Structure 1
């Protein structure tokens, strides 16, 4: 996978005078079944979260309130996405490093995940992540 596979997904927005509604269904709007949902909130303005990678986990990240930046890294390049609308989600495929930073005051980050929590799927050290990516890329080229 590469950062080119990370993309903004325009979620359905059903407008109504009483308010808007958006829907996310696993396997429909997003390319995976949803196994876990979590959210970050009360993050001090300007702070950062995440700073880790995953072997198999896929995610959709949505700014439910406020805004923040998501930096994705495939071990060879980095790309920054600003999320600030609740009807846009950032799809992150497996094998990516991510950092979430620059939270606005009151920002809420919703994450839909393709797997249940598995500590063995995480990389907390960037150098270890890069080694994994390089080994994986070398095995695909052979």
Structure 2
């Protein structure tokens, strides 16, 4: 079972030139996951997103615009991360509750996942999440 210590943040190098910059990561090498799905979440200031955990899925969050605070919770310990640069990537493994709180208008998160969408993988109620943690 994963714990707060299983959550990790990685700062990717930026390659800058006169046209802008490039930040890249290799999901298999940098995060040890095989990406199967991407999705994009757009939020306005003070919007709360996420508020769920996954039974099996691992995800990587990258804030490509704006800024977002991410609260992660393993049922006993909580930790907060600030994603405010597009070269920061936060890996949230399964069994971890996560909430995203947008701190600016036009916040855009890109999320990479190691599994296809499956509604049965979601734990959307916090009490159900705590019961799931006790049973695994």
TM-score range, shorter chain: over 0.9
- Residue of structure 2 in register with 1:11 after alignment: 12
Aligned residues: 135
Runs of 4+ in 1 over 4 A off after TM superposition: none
The within-5 A match list for 1:6-85 is 6-41=7-42, 43-85=43-85
Aligned residue for 1:15, secondary structure, equals strand
- The structure where strand makes up a greater share of residues is 2
Whole-Å separation in 2 of the counterparts to 1:80 and 1:55 = 21
Whole-Å separation in 2 of the counterparts to 1:134 and 1:104 = 36
Cα deviation code 1:21-77 (max 9, x no counterpart): 111222122220111100111x22111111011011111101101101101111111
- What residue ranges of structure 1 are gaps of 5+ in the alignment? 137-142
Whether contact under 8 Å (2:44, 2:102) holds in the other structure is no
Whether contact under 8 Å (1:51, 1:98) holds in the other structure is yes
> Is 1:125 matched up with 2:136?
no
Aligned residue for 1:20, secondary structure, equals strand
Whole-Å separation in 1 of the counterparts to 2:32 and 2:76 = 24
Cα deviation code 1:68-112 (max 9, x no counterpart): 110111111111111000001111111111100133111111101
Please give the TM-score of this superposition, normalised by the length of structure 1: 0.90
Please give the TM-score of this superposition, normalised by the length of structure 2: 0.94
- What residue ranges of structure 2 are gaps of 5+ in the alignment? none
